[in-house]
Amino acid sequence: MKFIISSIVIALISQAVYADDNREYCDYAKEKAHAESILQKSPQVFLGGGRDGSSNSNVIGLGIKESLSGFLKSYTSEALGQDDCQVYRTTNQLQTHIEYDLTNIQLKQVQFREEAVSLGIKHVSELIAAETIRVNAGVSTKITLSTLQAYRAKLEDELANLKQREALTRVPVGTHIEPVSVLISQLVEDTDKYQHDLSKQAKYDNWDVAVTTGVGSDPSRSMFSTPNQRFTNLQFTYSLGGPSRSRALDSAADHYTKWTQLNNNGPVHLASQIREQVQNAIDAAKGSKAAYDHYRKTIQTNLDSLEGLDTAPAHSFRIQLQIEQTSNDIESSCNEYTVNQFTNYLNYNFKSVL
């Protein structure tokens, strides 16, 4: 159970995204929506030709057309730009929250193990000092001393690797206060709003009220000899399939929101995976700690059986048991730390069941 978080981070965390990325994307989304809004609410100038049925003459018309549907769509376009920005921000916030938390946990695990290994080195060094005295007094052999020194060298090598790992671990910059479960709910809400605003805008295509005004003239006659004919038209259109289309649009928006939660590559599913992986890590650490605790009792029983014995075999066995006890204590304490860390993480970040 040395670095149980490592595989979770490597397998499940997406690349970090930062404030500059959010700002640039939001500027893009809002400007694009604003451009679309300008097009939708702007009057349309038209130039066309045809025949006048009453005079049986050609007519050229020039005028302006304004659409109420287009005007209303322009306001939803501005809202869609903001919606798009908000979904992107929340998605990034959720991803960076998870990366920050789990990388920070990884770093703290490394630091805690450094402390545990350092304590182990200190304890073994004390055993080496005592054994050196015994060797110098001629009541022990250099074999047991060498065994202790070899174990200390092993711990020192592990400590050096831990320090190197700590130096290479970079926790993403940022402070995250809201739990992951809150961000998940926010993302679902933001996505649902975005999709239903898209649906709302699309529904304006079901109908329209248009006003057309302009002038028409016969191109075969002089513009100055024949007065131009002014015209104004009011037109209302409505799609007979509008109600069915509206229901389909709303249903599509609902399905998209649900798909967002189930998408295997989406942040909500990522959070669900991490919750499951962390819970598995807790269960594994608990099982491992229980095994180490049980073995510690066995070690202690064997040490107690050697009480009062000072023969060479008994002493050699005692040294071996003390080495195993030190190693056992390191692993047991690290597993306990993992359980406490991950339990606190789940209790805070996943208050609701995903």
* pLDDT tens per residue across span 31-56: 999 999 999 999 888 887 776 656 66
Q: 17 falls in which pLDDT band (50, 70, 90)?
A: very low
Structure token digits, residue 182:
């809150």
d(CA 276, CA 117): 29
What length does the chain have?
A: 354
Q: 280 falls in which pLDDT band (50, 70, 90)?
A: very high
Average pLDDT taken over every residue of the chain: 85
CB-based contact 45:64 (threshold 8 Å) = yes
Which secondary structure element, helix H or strand E, spans residue 58, and what is its range?
strand 57-67
d(CA 49, CA 35): 31
User: DSSP H helical segments within 204-262, as ranges?
Assistant: 242-262
Give the pLDDT confidence of 228-237 residue by residue, as tens digits: 678 788 889 9
Report whether pLDDT(25) > 60: yes
Q: 262 falls in which pLDDT band (50, 70, 90)?
A: confident
Residue 226 has a pLDDT of: 52
Q: Once rounded to an integer, what is the mean pLDDT over residues 190-215?
A: 91
d(CA 344, CA 341): 5
d(CA 126, CA 319): 12
Residue 338 has a pLDDT of: 94
Lowest mean pLDDT among 3-12, 23-32, 324-333: 3-12
Burial per residue of 7-17, b for 16 or more beta-carbon CB atoms within 10 angstroms, e otherwise? ebbeebbeebb
What Å distances lie between residue 201 and 19, 38, 78, 194, 198, CA to CA?
30, 15, 11, 11, 5
Instruction: Please tell me whether residue 241 adopts helix, strand or coil conformation.
Output: coil
CB-based contact 220:57 (threshold 8 Å) = yes
Taken in order 265, 269, 274, 279, the sign of the CA dihedral is negative
The pTM of the full predicted model, rounded to 2 decimals, is 0.73
Q: Once rounded to an integer, what is the mean pLDDT over residues 24-29?
A: 92
Lowest mean pLDDT among 14-23, 243-252, 312-321: 14-23
Residue 6 has a pLDDT of: 46
Q: Once rounded to an integer, what is the mean pLDDT over residues 141-169?
A: 93
Residue 11 has a pLDDT of: 41
Give the pLDDT confidence of 217-226 residue by residue, as tens digits: 766 665 444 5
Give the pLDDT confidence of 80-93 residue by residue, as tens digits: 999 999 999 998 88
Give the pLDDT confidence of 209-219 residue by residue, as tens digits: 998 888 877 66
d(CA 183, CA 273): 15
Report whether pLDDT(171) > 90: no
Output 146 or 172, whichever has higher pLDDT.
146
Residue 225 has a pLDDT of: 47
d(CA 16, CA 20): 12
